[in-house]
Amino acid sequence: MITFKHVSKVYPPDVHGLRDISLFIAPGEFVSIVGSSGAGKTTLAKLLIAEEQPTRGNIEIGGWDITRIKSRDIPYLRRQIGVVFQDFKLLQKKTVWENVAFALEVAGETRRRIRETVPHVLKIVGLEQKAQRFPYQLSGGEQQRVVIARALVHRPKILLADEPTGNLDTMNTNEIIDVLKKINAFGSTVVLVTHNREVVNALHGRVITLADGRVVADHEQGKYLLPT
């Protein structure tokens, strides 16, 4: 599903974001990518959604080599990868329903498809009763669930969550992780970028540990190994 072959990323003049990373993530996996600040987690996430291009190496997603992806093809890649960020990125003047529908509108989906899809994904994240609320009327965890719902509308094969629980308390964090597990159970590959030790250890899943731009550990039943 996701393949990194000897990928390096160097920011001018000589800041190394990633150094010769090679890894493979199979379809349906739930992978945690951990590391301290500056380890290269966010660079890896940006490479996955083609926000950055690697300096060396190749990246493939579902057999599609996105290493030198053309600008006009990026939207199609991003419709296949749902993205969730720490800072939510919700439109404050739109309701929950409108925020989720927005992702379908900009992709040119029909009204009928929007009417069918939005309630469905809101049900998955447990927000069907709050569809007409505005983001400021929701808790942090609920806002993040709206973001996840929005990421799901294109039925992505991959869900990339970059520090999704960074702004949340323990209860909301658990809610978000439960939603991610649920999505994973439906068959989507989930890539969770985090430095939350409790979350990683509770998942009992594959953990890829980055340090100084390199993969220093990759365990199927991994733990958060880094010192806090």
CB of 202 to another protein, least distance (A): 28
Q: Does 98 bind another protein (CB under 8 A)?
A: no
Q: Which listed residue (7, 18, 48, 83) binds another protein by CB under 8 A?
A: 83
State whether residue 227 is helix, strand or coil. Answer: coil
State whether residue 139 is helix, strand or coil. Answer: coil
Selection from 61, 23, 27, 25 nearest residue 40 by Cα: 23
54: preceding bond cis by omega (within 30 degrees):
no
CB of 160 to another protein, least distance (A): 11
CB of 149 to another protein, least distance (A): 12
- 89 vs 138: CA distance, rounded Å: 14
Question: Considering beta carbons, is residue 9 or 154 the nearer one to another protein?
Answer: 154
Q: Which listed residue (65, 105, 116, 220) binds another protein by CB under 8 A?
A: 105
Q: Which listed residue (1, 23, 74, 225) binds another protein by CB under 8 A?
A: 74
Output the DSSP codes for 7-74: EEEEETTTEEEEEEEEEEE-TT-EEEEE--TTSSHHHHHHHHTTSS--SEEEEEETTEE-TT--GGGH
Helix axes 96-105, 111-124, angle to 10 degrees: 130
- 78 vs 187: CA distance, rounded Å: 18
* Region binding another protein by CB under 8 A among candidate stretches 14-22, 30-38, 148-156, 210-218: 148-156
Q: Does 111 bind another protein (CB under 8 A)?
A: yes
- 12 vs 59: CA distance, rounded Å: 21
Q: Which listed residue (110, 171, 221, 227) binds another protein by CB under 8 A?
A: 110
* Region binding another protein by CB under 8 A among candidate stretches 57-65, 77-85, 119-127, 199-207: 77-85
Question: Considering beta carbons, is residue 99 or 172 the nearer one to another protein?
Answer: 99
Q: Which parts of this chain interact with another protein (CB under 8 A)? A: 49-53, 71-72, 74-76, 78-79, 83, 89-91, 102-103, 105-111, 150-151, 153-154
